[in-house]
Amino acid sequence: MKTHFLVSLPLIALAGIVTLPAVAGTVYENGPINGNTDAWTINFGFWVGDTFTVSAGTSTITGFSFGAWLMPGDTLETAQLTIESRIGGGTVYFNQVIPFTASGCALNQYGYDVCEETSSFSGPTLNNGTYWSVLQNAVTSEGNPVYWDENSGIGCHSPGCPSQSFESEGSIPSESFTVLGTLASSTVPEPSDLVLFASGFLGLAGILRRRLF
């Protein structure tokens, strides 16, 4: 019984290597909210699209946050988020109306509440590459316009930043937003590394067996 348990140790260890856990994190960020320069309408027929880059390996998108300008006392309820391979066409990976929750709201110099709006959802799994995130059809509790905060990507740290951006009528400076998701925590080892690792554990099992018997 003891010998069987020790011989099985390397197999358990190998299973731990090839089954890699995923970790929640930031897939891409385009810098913090500015709140005092400009903002672009994302309802009443207007849309805004920004690029984001997946660079840490295959990632499953699970959330999106952005800076919003709202009329004081108004609340963003939902907005339509589309993730696609190119603006206005190509492959559509995600296209849903999603709910948002506000945090950190503060009145800016123009009299708008500037809030960080965050949503969690079950999104697509994306490989490394550049994609477009598009916001439109935003709905508020009082039916007012909603504006996506412009920050020009200042203070961003992700590969591929600052984002490229377009709105309904042409190119504009990019906006403040973060794409959230789960990322692979490490790279699968090469087969030769697995063999060496297994050999070491088999040798250790042999030593332990000799000591026990």
Q: Which residue has the higher pLDDT, 184 or 79?
A: 79
- Can you spell out the DSSP letters for 90-124? EEEEEEEEEE-EEEEEEE-TTS-EEEEEEEE----
DSSP string for 174-208: -B-EEEEEEEESSPPPPHHHHHHHHHHHHHHHHHH
Q: Which two tokens stand for residue 1?
A: 């019984």
- Indicate the pTM of the whole model: 0.78
* pLDDT band for position 29 (cuts 50, 70, 90): very high
CA dist list (Å): 168 to 41, 66, 86, 188: 9, 18, 14, 43
Structure confidence by residue, pLDDT tens digits, 33-47: 999 999 999 999 999
End-to-end CA distance of the chain: 12
In the chain, where are the structural domains located?
A: 20-206
Q: Residue 154: is its pLDDT beyond 70? A: yes
Q: Please write the tens of the pLDDT for every residue from 46-74.
A: 999 999 999 999 999 999 999 999 999 99
Backbone phi, then psi, for 31, in 5-degree steps? 100, 165
